[in-house]
Structures are given as C-alpha cells and as structure tokens.
Structure 1
C-alpha cells in the first residue's frame, strides 16, 4: 500500500492553494499512490478573520473542494483533504476534513472536535472557539488503505478520540495539522508516536510548514508512523510531496505482539479518598 503526503505552506488565496492541491493530486497518482493526504486548512490559512471572512463560504460554494473533487476524479485517486474552513448556515465556521474517492464522491466528512484555545509562552494566543464551532461526532471510513479514523490537529492531544476510532475498526489514523513551531518542537513526534503505539495503528499526519502570508509559522515534519511506533517518513520542513509504503500485515503483526485492542476494559469509576 502506497500513500502520498502533501506538506504545504498554505496562504490567504484559496485559488493559489487549490492549484497546489490539484498539482499534488496528479503527481501522487503518477507516483502510484492509492491515496493522498493533505494538511489542516489546505484551502485557506489566514489568522486575520475579518479578511478571511470573505473567502470562507459554505461547503456547496467552496471552490477548493470543487477543484479537489474534479482533480481526484480525473486522476482516479482517493484524497483525504485534511480540512477546509467552511461556513455553516448559522454563520459560524467549521474546520472540516473530507475523504473523497476516485470518482469525486465525498465518502466522509469530519468537523474538528477539539478547538485550540491557548496562550503560549512565546506570546502567541489562539482562540479557535471565537469563530469556529466544534464537531459533534467521531468518524471512520473505509478506504483503499484500510479503515481510516479522522482527527484534526489539536485532537491529537485527546487519546480517547483515537481509542474510539480504533474500537470502531480504524487501522489508520489521520491527523492533518497546522502545528505551531513551539508546540511542534515539544510534542509533535512524541504524541503521534504515542497514538500509533496505543492503538497499534498507522498514523498519517500531513502538516503545514514554514512562514505563511498571514504572519504565522508552522512546524512541518509531516509524518507517517507504523503501528509499532516506528517513523516511516519524516518530511522535515520543506513544502513538498512524498510517498510512503504501508506494509499490509503491519497492523495485524503489532496487534498480535501486544493485543492492546483486545485487552481494553471499560474504566471503572474513580474513587476519591
């Protein structure tokens, strides 16, 4: 099984980002990938919410989504479009990922459950909940690579979500992201490896990287991790497309060596004394 990962430096122009995505779809298909994974906020990355508001539209109106679906059908390639900023009918935004098959059909969508509201020691302050509504459901979907469990960026810090996904049969966990550099340097690799080991599953994390038009910087280091916790691919900091082979029997072998899925028990109530 071969997957492709796109590491992007998305900007404030959705049309320009769409061109990067459609070029990557063609390149991934030509390279023999069964599926392409792209980062969080592939269509628009803009922390200026007043400026971004004009570009954030409904799912039905979004031109980046339409372009990716058309390119996927042309290439006959499955795509996990990591996420887009979209507008709900009530005017609030959602951070929504899509799994699109090789006929342009949307097989699944997922809205980010956990919103990034933090103040970092560097002085960076983020309040996603000021504009975005959280998702309300966890999602798995069957793909050519196996059953895929969907998460987005900050979800990574909440292992209960990933346990629910693997309990629902996920053998691959996808974590598209736009990690800040401070949090990425401190936690990115260790958290992704932990999620792979805890669930004896592949983890694929396509990431944003570099200096963006809106003034932010992101960590990069898109990763593919095996179910034993081994790093199969680390893309460093360059914006690029890369390929990784996912061994067919790796999940079965890992779960036979340490059967963490079979050994799970419901946690009893905590007694305080």
Structure 2
C-alpha cells in the first residue's frame, strides 16, 4: 500500500481510566469513519502523566481493559492502531508501553520506552519516570502493508541513534506517542520532529495529549505529521482534536534518489550497531 491516510487522536486525558477508554474508543471510531488506515493515540492515554500514579493504572497483557479495548477497536474499525502508551506491569516491573494492533485485532508488537525521562528543568518542572518505571531494551520496527512501522515513545525521539537504527531496520514511518511539556514543547517539539524526518528521510508522527492547564503535568499538544522532506503536513492546535494526513511512500524513494544521504554514510569509517541482548 503506497498511499494511505493516518489519523492522530489528540485526546483530553482525565483521572478516571474508564472515561479515557470511552473517549479513545470514540476517537478511533471517528478516525476510521474518515478513512484512516492507521490511527495513533497519545502517550499514557489511559491515565494522568504522573509517575507516582503509574502503578495504580498499570495493566498486564492481554487481560488489561485498555489493551482489550485497543484490540477490539482495531478489529471493529479495521485499522492499524498504535495504542499510544499505557503503564504495563510485567514480571514485577512497570513499563511505559505502546501496543500495536493489526486490522484484525492481533497484537503486532509492543514498544517499551527505552529512555526514561528523569529531568530537573530550570522552569521548576521535575519528572523522574525511573521512580516507578523500568526501561525497555528493544528497537521496535514492525513489517506491515503500510511499510515498516517504527514505534518509540516521547523522550526516545531525542536520541538520534535509536531513530537511525529504526530506519536501518526498515522503518518508513516512525510513530512517537509523546507528552512534551510547556517548557520543552515550545522549544523543541516541531524542531525535533522535522529534524528527525530530514535526517532519516521518512515520515514522523508525534501524538500528544491535548493541553489541560489544570493537569498536574501540562502537555504541549500540537500533534503533528512530518513528511520526509521536513514539511509539517498536518498539525493540531492545543485542544482535543483529530488530525489527518496522507502518507505517500513513493515520496520517500523520490527524496532518497535525489538526496541519497543514507547511501553516502561512510560505513568504512564509522558504524551504528545494535548490540545483541
């Protein structure tokens, strides 16, 4: 499938998990009705983005209510679904995990956030994900009829080595459920997604929660889709909405034929490798 429509659901997230699941399901349905083949939800779509709360909302695969909702929604709407992320409990640990489903509701893969957001910003914002979360250790690229689908989560996008590894493993579209804040968002959100798209000559999607000024952690919003030339082809505002964009995989090949930067890498001098685990 060389051309298809994607939808990014920038949803408002509240404390009640059930309300979040109902709202996410409604937005997935609306996106499917508008012809989206791929639908994306934001980071931690089923709970507030507060590290101390993640254990309270954590679920296990495959029985968690959020995970079951995602599988049913993908099947009932006939869409590929990147289920944002949820707190996942496994083996006594909790991960920030994105579950990816096929149009028949099968789990295609999962990505556990590799780089935990432990920061103290000059604005006064302090976040320590490692206080409750463990880090993942897998580079996630899923073969599909939509092309190689790379998935990472929020802070992962700041590490260019990971993004390049995903592309070298075949990603043609990289999806990043993310919750940049009101310090990092205005400074880096659009810049970093455009930069990663240009560096790697693939499409990038950033899926943010809607901005809620009353939330303990205020997300920036402005979910976006960037093409492999670095053009922002769709962007949300601050509030709740669904944005759409057309993905054209032929554009990737056109750009790479004109500006073959991946072929011009000096692999005789330097290399990027995935260490065996």
Q: TM-score normalised by the shorter chain: which range applies? A: over 0.9
Instruction: Please give the alpha-carbon distance, in whole angstroms, between the structure 2 residues aligned to 1:96 and 1:48.
Output: 14
Q: Could you tell me how far 1:52 is from its partner in structure 2? A: 4.5
> 2:23 corresponds to which residue?
20
CA contact (8 A) 2:141 2:171 kept: yes
Instruction: Please give the alpha-carbon distance, in whole angstroms, between the structure 2 residues aligned to 1:57 and 1:107.
Output: 18
Q: Could you tell me how far 1:178 is from its partner in structure 2? A: 0.7
Q: Could you tell me how far 1:57 is from its partner in structure 2? A: 2.5
Alignment of 1:10 with 2:48, yes or no, is no
> 1:60 corresponds to which residue?
62
> 1:170 corresponds to which residue?
171
Change (3 A) 1:248 1:268: closer
> 1:87 corresponds to which residue?
89
CA contact (8 A) 2:172 2:249 kept: no
> 2:120 corresponds to which residue?
119
Q: Could you tell me how far 1:142 is from its partner in structure 2? A: 2.0
Alignment of 1:97 with 2:98, yes or no, is yes
Q: Could you tell me how far 1:48 is from its partner in structure 2? A: 6.2
Q: Which runs of 5+ in 1 are unaligned?
A: none
Change (3 A) 1:226 1:96: same
CA contact (8 A) 1:46 1:213 kept: no
Q: Could you tell me how far 1:214 is from its partner in structure 2? A: 4.5
TM-score, scaled relative to structure 1: 0.93
Q: Could you tell me how far 1:248 is from its partner in structure 2? A: 3.5
Q: Could you tell me how far 1:46 is from its partner in structure 2? A: 4.2
Secondary structure in structure 1 of the residue aligned to 2:262 = helix
> 1:248 corresponds to which residue?
249
Tell me how large the CA RMSD over aligned residues is. Answer: 1.6
Instruction: Please give the alpha-carbon distance, in whole angstroms, between the structure 2 residues aligned to 1:45 and 1:85.
Output: 11
CA contact (8 A) 1:35 1:144 kept: no
Change (3 A) 1:168 1:24: same
Change (3 A) 1:191 1:57: same
Instruction: Please give the alpha-carbon distance, in whole angstroms, between the structure 1 residues aligned to 2:204 and 2:136.
Output: 21
Instruction: Please give the alpha-carbon distance, in whole angstroms, between the structure 1 residues aligned to 2:129 and 2:64.
Output: 21
Instruction: Please give the alpha-carbon distance, in whole angstroms, between the structure 2 residues aligned to 1:115 and 1:46.
Output: 13
Deviations 1:62-116 (A, max 9, x none): 10111121121111111011211111222x2100011101111000101011000
Q: Give the 5 Å matches for 1:199-238.
A: 199-211=200-212, 214-238=215-239
Secondary structure in structure 1 of the residue aligned to 2:74 = helix
Deviations 1:126-157 (A, max 9, x none): 10111111111101012342111111100111
Instruction: Please give the alpha-carbon distance, in whole angstroms, between the structure 2 residues aligned to 1:47 and 1:173.
Output: 25
Change (3 A) 1:146 1:161: same
Instruction: Please give the alpha-carbon distance, in whole angstroms, between the structure 2 residues aligned to 1:43 and 1:212.
Output: 18
Instruction: Please give the alpha-carbon distance, in whole angstroms, between the structure 2 residues aligned to 1:243 and 1:109.
Output: 23
Instruction: Please give the alpha-carbon distance, in whole angstroms, between the structure 2 residues aligned to 1:141 and 1:254.
Output: 23
Deviations 1:198-234 (A, max 9, x none): 0000001111121176522110010100000001011
Q: Could you tell me how far 1:261 is from its partner in structure 2? A: 1.7
Using the TM superposition, name which of 70-79 and 193-202 deviates more: 70-79
Secondary structure in structure 2 of the residue aligned to 1:184 = helix
Change (3 A) 1:196 1:48: closer
Change (3 A) 1:94 1:188: same
